[in-house]
Amino acid sequence: MPVALDITDDDGVARLVRDVTEAGGIDTLINIAGGARGADWVADARIEDWEWMYGANVIGSMKLIRAFLPMLRTHGEGTVVNLTSTAALVAYEGGAGYNAAKAAQRAMTRALRLEEVENNVRVVEVLPGMVQTEEFALNRLGNEEAAEKVYAGVEKPLTAADVADVIAYAVSVPHHVNLDEIVVRPLAQAAVHKVVRRR
């Protein structure tokens, strides 16, 4: 039974592990912990934003994975899916804090794959590009006008459902098949810096 989680505080994680254990356990952990705040250049970086992004993306992911690894190991064919970002692959102006947090989350995911292979725990990383959700750009940029500009003129940016479909496929293949890293972007986004806008 796969479970998708975004709970990063210690008490919340402990309660969740207890509840999941009482319900019979899991074989797949889909970790969506993360988020972005601000688009400041390094010279103008706000420390609280950087600390929040590192805490949510890296420390939060570590806490969740660490808490569920014993259960996944015991299962015998466990899977961890970490949702990172193409921001982990390519830096861009105004993205340094998010780039750094996602690159750290990606490095942790790659190390986890090496550490857990002996326990038959499959580790998958999904790296989405431009995904249009109600929250992400608004939370990051702080106002609706700036958030709307991110997606302006882009035909069919990815949706949360698109990313969920990719994750569902990755966990549905036989356990011996590991889709280590899956980069998924909308067609209009050929690269982080190359986005076709029709308007």
d(CA 144, CA 83): 25
170 close to 126: Cβ distance less than 8 angstroms: yes
Beta bridge partners of 5: 31
Which amino acid belongs to residue 92? Y
124 close to 182: Cβ distance less than 8 angstroms: yes
Beta strands in 6-145 (DSSP E): 28-31, 79-83, 122-128
Residue 98 annotated in active site: yes
Q: Which of 54, 98, 151, 169 is catalytic?
A: 98
Token pair belonging to 66: 């660490």
Catalytic positions: 98
